Each structure stands twice: as C-alpha cells, then as structure tokens.
Structure 1
Amino acid sequence: MLTQTDLLTKKGVYIQQMFGSIARVYDLLNTILSFNFDKSWRKFAVKVSNVTPDAKVLDVCTGTGDLAIAYSRVLNGSGRVIGSDFCHEMVRLAELKLKRRNLSDKIKVIDADTLRLPFRDNSFQVSGVAFGIRNVADLRAGIAEMVRITAPGGRVVILEFSQPINPVFKGIYYFYFKKILPFIGRLISRSKYNAYSYLPSSVLNFPDRYGLRTQMESCGLEDVKIYPKTLGIVTVHVGTKPGN
C-alpha cells in the first residue's frame, strides 16, 4: 500500500494509481470540498486567458475534463480543445461526460503525460491546467512542456491551490484543510491510498504563488500575472510566451 511519503515523491505510477482509485468520485468531492467554488475558479481562469473564439486550447492534467469544458464555452465552431491526462480512468470518465453533454465534437481527450506531450512546438494559443501541475513529477519540466507547445504570443495558465496570507483566515482554513477535508475525502472516496491526505500535504510542499511565478519565468514566460481567489485558497497564474 502506498504511503504519503511514496505519493509525495510524485513518481508517475504512484500518482496514476492514486487518481485511478478516486476517479469515480472525483467530481463529487471537488464540488463538496470546495463548497462549489471550483466552477467559478475555472471560469475565472478561462476569462483571464484572453482566449479568442477560434483558438486551439490544450488542458493538461485534465482529469474528468472540467477545465476543457469551461474553455469550450467561449469558443466558436472553429475553436478546439484537447484535454490530456496520464490517468486512463480519468480520461475514460471525461469521455463519458463529454458524450453525455454532446461536447465530443468540440473537445477531444487523450492519454498523455504532461512531461511528454505528443504535440508539435507552437501548436496551441493557450495551454492550461487546473489543480494538476502540483502532481507532476518535475514541475519545471512540466511547465516547460506547456510553454513548448504554446505558440508565440500565447498564454500558459495555471490554476492551483495556494496558501492564504491572512493569518486569522489561514488558521481556520488550515484546520479545515488538514483535518476535515481528509476525513470527508476518505469517507466518501474509500481510497486505499488516502488521496485526500495527500492533497493538503502536496499543497504545503508546493511553491507559493511567488515561487510558482519564478518557475514560470525560468521557463521563458513573460509578464506573469498572479490572481489570488477566495482569500488566497487558490491562485491563477497567467504567463505569456514571447513573440507574435
């Protein structure tokens, strides 16, 4: 059985197993544990992407496809979204969700590792990720791949959990994040990997909003903007790839 120490190594096979174990309740728990804020966070990430209606968008670590779906809502008939994930159970559920919503002609989901994306350089206007880059084994390499497949002048958008700054709210939130959230997640998911204890541990071990901006800049992105949301629980970062 995988331990928290195993999971925090971010070894690909461990992360695949963990997410595969919670795939069937992933959407439900996202809604419950975020108090339904997750939808507005994704909507905001799409808004600050400044995506054009005819854009090609890649959503890496797509999970069950929610960010890809959010992007699809602002595209016209010539726009296209691809969602990629290396957890096959998540991709399969995303395909079923798209079919139910009649979105299969607008969004395609594929099995692919964010560290080895199967696309040519400069293929997309926007590459985005929601709550996934934190789980990639090599953060800088994952961001670099997102930059590689983004066209000059395009944007890399990262929506990720972050650490609140206000000390009073931070104390209340951390009690929920470290104690209540794992309990609810464990109760509902029945995951043998204790995935919802991994979540707060991985966030606390992840760079803060300024550290993530530095990582994005080190991968060649310019004008990296930071948008904290919901008292800093999550942050959206938007960086631009140089050139036109």
Structure 2
Amino acid sequence: MTQSPKNTDVQALFNKIAPEYDKMNNIISFGTHKLWRQRVMTKMTFPVGAHIIDLATGTADWAIALAEKSDATTDVTGLDFSEEMLAIGQKKVDVSDFSNKITLIQGDAMALPFEDDTFDIVTIGFGLRNLPDPVRGLQEMYRVLKSGGQLVILETSQPDNPLVKPFWQLYFGKVMPIFGKVFAKGKYTEYKYLDETTENFMDYLTLGQTLLKIGFQKVTISRFNLGAAAVHYAIK
C-alpha cells in the first residue's frame, strides 16, 4: 500500500476517483490543464526516435499528446500505480491514432523498473506532489534519463501574490472539495485531500533548487494562471 505523507493510501484514492477523473479535471481547471500541456510541449525538444516516459500518467492524456507531438519512430511509455486509471487510459490509447507508439504499465515512480540511462524525455504532470517521497521520485527520474535528456514537471503551485493567494486558497480549500461532492458522486474527502497536497507541496523555487541539488542542469521555470501552476524544465 503506497502511503502519502498524510498517511493516505493514494493508490486506493486514485482507483476510487478514476471514473470521474477526466471530468473533474476539466471542471476544476476550467479546461486550462490541456492548454498548459500544449504550451509546455512547445518548449520541449523531441529527438527523432526518442524514448519517452510519462510518469503518473493517469488516464494517459499527456502520453497521447506526447505521441502526437513526436515523430513516428518515437515510443512513449505511460506509468501509473493506479490500475483503474490505467484501464481508462488504455481505452483512450486503443482508439487513438498512436496505439502502436504507446505502452501503459503499472508501476511505482519511486522505484522505476528500468535500467539507468533509458529515456530521452521524462515527464510528470500533476503527479509529483502525490508521491510519498517526491525527492526519491526525482532521483529515480534522474537515474533513468540519458545524459542530456530532458525532465519536464508540470505541477500545481501556490500563488505568492498577496492579493491572489486568498482567492486561490478559497477555491482549492473550499470550492474544489464541494465540486468533488457534487460532480464526482460524493467524493468530498478525496478532493479535499488533493487540495491539501497542493497547498502543502514545496513551492516552485524550492522544487527548482531540489532539482539542482540532485544534479539536474539548466533548470528553468514558467508559471501559469498567476502562479496556480508551474512547469520546471531540466537537463541531466
């Protein structure tokens, strides 16, 4: 059982919310999470014949987008610990134009089942904060990246503008859990937990510093929606 720092079984939690996950993502972010991924990928470099892994791939939206963006000889692996999320993702992969390029597997982002220096690109979208030990997860990402490979982290963040932050806290702390109760068959507790992981996760500057300490280079950061999300790019 994979426990979060708040002693929550996150695997069971994501299995439970899987049926409503895509719908809730669209509601909570007002659809902007898709635009964020597209903007992130415009700044990525896709080598010919690349090996890409998308960690915490969930229902495979980013894995499919990466397959679409890359050349025909690239392969994309999507890894997640939730079998229910992967089952939904597999259905989406099967009806996509890229089923021959994408492989979904169940696994632990903190103990990746791959050799050192395997991937040209590692991505993780809105999943790092749910790892019981994010630093260990980042160390694993460093290990499986090839020298010169790219790491891309898209994650919720905390606005630091004193005028914006109270509204952000109200939305994530009060409104989002209610959305879970109304639109996700009463899952108030689960979406309250997701709010707490966002609020308690390291800020974007600390994450950038952590990447440098692990050994990543050329760390750059962009922020979206007044700081509600941030993307970190880094090179091994």
Q: How far has the Cα of 1:170 moved from its partner?
A: 1.9
Identity, % of aligned pairs? 35
> What's the Cα RMSD here?
1.6
Higher RCO (Cα < 8 Å, 6 or more apart) = 1
The AA in structure 1 aligned to 2:125 is A
Question: How far apart in 2 are the matches of 1:77 and 1:102?
Answer: 11
What does residue 240 of structure 1 align with? 235
In the alignment, structure 1 residue 48 sits paired with structure 2 residue 17: no
Q: Residue 22 of structure 1 contacts residue 191 of structure 1 at CA under 8 Å; is this kept in 2?
A: no
Alpha carbons of structure 1 residues 167 and 193: separation in structure 2 relative to 1, 3 Å: closer
The AA in structure 1 aligned to 2:160 is I
Alpha carbons of structure 1 residues 53 and 44: separation in structure 2 relative to 1, 3 Å: farther
In the alignment, structure 1 residue 93 sits paired with structure 2 residue 98: no
What does residue 155 of structure 1 align with? 150
Q: Residue 54 of structure 1 contacts residue 80 of structure 1 at CA under 8 Å; is this kept in 2?
A: yes
SS in 2 for 1:223: strand
What does residue 31 of structure 1 align with? 26
Matches within 5 A, 1:114-129: 114-129=109-124
In the alignment, structure 1 residue 223 sits paired with structure 2 residue 218: yes
Q: How far has the Cα of 1:36 moved from its partner?
A: 0.4
Question: How far apart in 2 are the matches of 1:190 and 1:215?
Answer: 38
Q: How far has the Cα of 1:53 moved from its partner?
A: 4.2
In the alignment, structure 1 residue 9 sits paired with structure 2 residue 3: no
Q: Residue 186 of structure 1 contacts residue 195 of structure 1 at CA under 8 Å; is this kept in 2?
A: no
Question: How far apart in 2 are the matches of 1:133 and 1:10?
Answer: 16
Alpha carbons of structure 1 residues 47 and 184: separation in structure 2 relative to 1, 3 Å: same
The AA in structure 2 aligned to 1:116 is A
Question: How far apart in 2 are the matches of 1:47 and 1:138?
Answer: 29
Q: How far has the Cα of 1:174 moved from its partner?
A: 1.8
Question: How far apart in 2 are the matches of 1:193 and 1:139?
Answer: 25
Alpha carbons of structure 1 residues 191 and 104: separation in structure 2 relative to 1, 3 Å: farther
Unmatched 5+ stretches in structure 2:
none
What does residue 76 of structure 2 align with? 81
Question: How far apart in 2 are the matches of 1:45 and 1:135?
Answer: 21
Q: Residue 154 of structure 2 contacts residue 229 of structure 2 at CA under 8 Å; is this kept in 1?
A: yes
The AA in structure 2 aligned to 1:9 is K
Q: Residue 10 of structure 1 contacts residue 135 of structure 1 at CA under 8 Å; is this kept in 2?
A: no
SS in 1 for 2:120: strand
- The answer to which of 60-69 and 102-111 deviates more is 102-111
Q: Residue 117 of structure 2 contacts residue 144 of structure 2 at CA under 8 Å; is this kept in 1?
A: yes
Unmatched 5+ stretches in structure 1:
1-5
Question: How far apart in 1 are the matches of 2:175 and 2:91?
Answer: 31
